[in-house]
Chains A and B, each alone.
Chain A
């Protein structure tokens, strides 16, 4: 499994980008994607298609393209990471999901937190940065 961020989730749903494994995203990245589409500064500025057309697919992505991981499975682990590594919800949930599923994390280069490469390495999580 490969866990992707919100930007790569959009790229996967465009079918312009694919990965050689099952692709999933976390609840928090999914929330960011939907929030961007609801925000007039985000989805409202699209020229190719209206955010209204994208929202139904973004809200319930075809699982063969993109699965949204149920956060309840890893809530306890995420909470533990949040305390041990002083992480916010987004980061703790991502780390817990990758650990639980033994997944690779793929992030767009603008979405790599300053401390994340070292953090993921410490936890044995493979990180792929997509430019």
Chain B
């Protein structure tokens, strides 16, 4: 990590704090996420990717059948 200081408007700082509060995270983490997205270092939510998530959601029970059964921390007792 590289430490840096930046100047923000009060409105920007308030918006960052609100986003951080909602996510239970820090102002710094939000800034890092915004920079990664703006610099294109994250994935892009294309129509193909959205269709992939739709398929994943629709077939989730089938695709994850038994996947978490051996993990007591992640298992859901039905």
Contact = CB atoms under 8 A, between A and B. Distances in A.
A83 interface: no
Contacts, number: 150
Contact of B37 (A62, A110, A111): A62
B22 A14 contact: no
A115 B54 contact: no
Contacts of A53: 43, 46, 48-49, 52
A43 B43 CA distance: 16
Contacts of B31: none
A125 interface: no
Interface in A12-68: 13-17, 22, 24, 28, 31-32, 35-37, 39, 41-43, 45-51, 53-60, 62-63, 65, 67-68
Contacts of A56: 42-43
Question: Which 5 residue pairs across A and B have the least CB separation, nearest first?
Answer: A56-B43, A49-B52, A73-B24, A14-B53, A14-B54
